[in-house]
Chains A and B, each alone.
Chain A
Amino acid sequence: MKKAVLAACVAAGILGMGTVQVSAHHSSSMYDRDKEVELAGTIKQFQYTNPHSWLIVTVVGKDGTTVDWGFESEGPSSLLRAGIKISSLKPGEQVVVKGHPLRDGRPAAGLVSVAKADGSVLSPDAARRRGPGGKPIDAPATP
């Protein structure tokens, strides 16, 4: 796992489905929702903040250079509803992160999921499974 995590990789492809972030604060048109990057790296910082949280991950390229990637996600209360606590992602942890990249090629993406070294996977999309009785909160509404 460690070896796999340390080997930084970028995979971009067309996806049949993507998560839809609840972003009340800004447009998400800067993200390419048809593409997904998958990056292995080390957590540098977890900004557990409003209006959005940012996970900063240092990624080592094949040539040995490092790049800090920013993964944007929802604010603290939405993440908590998805089971992502401030203590869930700590600086120095090795992770594999998936996200929808910026269209302009800069190193940032809308967070889709984080795979931790212990095998667990965190996803902000889980927020929508935290309604009463386990019912999806953002499912198509009842007429």
Chain B
Amino acid sequence: MNTVRANTWAAAIVVVWTFVATMASAQEYAKWYKQSEQHFLELKQKAGGGTKLTWDKLPDWTGIWTRQGGTRFDPKVPNYDPTTAKLTPEYKAKFEKKLADHNKGLEWDSLSYCLPAGFPRWLTEPFLREFVVRPEEVWWINEQQSEVRRIYTDGRGHVPEDEAYPLWTGDSIGFWDGDTLVVHTINNKEGQYNRGQPDYSDKVSVVEKIRKVDAVTIEDDITVYDPLSLVEPWHVAQRFVRVSTPNLRINMWSCEENNNVVKAPDGATQFILKGEKGYRDPDKLITGPEQAQTPKQ
């Protein structure tokens, strides 16, 4: 009888503790989200609610652009170096393990499955980019995976909470403060800033101020909020520079076109080479026999 009573009390304590912990976490998420949203709303208030741009007043962001500073989220710090992000103990430990695994030759990237980068990692992807600026919407096109990030500037809010779910490029709304595009992005999938950089959770939200600083440079002033991975917001400035190579265009980018990268049993990244079992010949993807890919043992 006493055992039953003790177990009942123990169960009750666990239930209460779980409830309190969940409430505390929910409050923590809410606080950070509020902070991020507040940041965005304060900028909007300072901008007098934002500038309503008409077709003839749109900034000229035409051309093809690419990242400056490789794939670093904070351009000042090389990948695999200590990060400038102030990480929580859990994410600090994850990052340290990631670096230790890399030093042992063990590194795998979900991009190798041909998955999209996800946001905010999306910002660090190299290769080509293009902006399509309209009064009510900005499309930021990324060559890799032919991804389009849509930033709505027509005054709409985020998707209602009961309809929201994590998205590869998040839910972005924005406004114009003169020639600066201010953006708030929520509802992202968990991910990593890039290889050799920390991870972030699906509670991450981002405030950006994007501006063309001269004819060949667009700067993105970025503040990242994430209650699970960061102990304080992370601020970085990234730059995109105009590419002037003749005849260069952004074409459809298919990751499956020639992907013979596989995850080895130990977690390392490996190739299946031409002539090996399981190799998917790019010339025979459409007409050739379907083959399962298996890592070389």
Fill in one digit per residue for A117-143: 1 if any B CB lies within 8 Å of its CB, else 0.
Answer: 000000000000011110101111111
B191 CB within 8 Å of chain A? no
Say which residue of A50, A56, A141, A142 sits within 8 Å of B72 (CB atoms). Answer: A141
Binding site for A on B (CB under 8 A): 66-72, 75-76, 102, 105-109, 111-112, 117, 125-128, 143-144, 195, 215-216, 237-239, 241-245, 247-248, 250-251, 253-255, 257-259, 261, 268-271, 273-275, 282-283, 296
A-B contact count (CB 8 A): 137
Kindly state the separation between the CA atoms of A107 and B105 in the bound complex, as whole angstroms. 19
Q: Which residues of A contact B (CB under 8 A)?
A: 20, 22, 24-27, 29-30, 47, 49-54, 56, 68, 70, 72, 75-78, 80-81, 102-104, 106-108, 130-133, 135, 137-143
B243 contacts A51, CB within 8 Å? no
Q: Is the CB of A142 within 8 A of B70?
A: no
Known: A29-B106, A106-B296. 16 other contacts (CB 8 A): A24-B144, A25-B109, A25-B261, A27-B109, A30-B268, A51-B258, A77-B127, A78-B127, A81-B248, A108-B271, A132-B215, A137-B68, A138-B70, A139-B68, A142-B68, A143-B76
A131, B214: Cα distance in complex, Å: 14
Distance, CA A72 to CA B126, complexed state (A): 17
The reply to whether A77 and B274 form a contact with Cβ atoms under 8 Å apart is no
B282 A29 Cβ-Cβ under 8 A: no
Given contacts A68-B274, A138-B69, A141-B76, A132 and B112 within 8 Å (CB-CB): no
**Which chain B residue shows the least CB distance to A53?**
B258
By a CB distance below 8 angstroms, the chain B residues around A70 are 271, 273-274
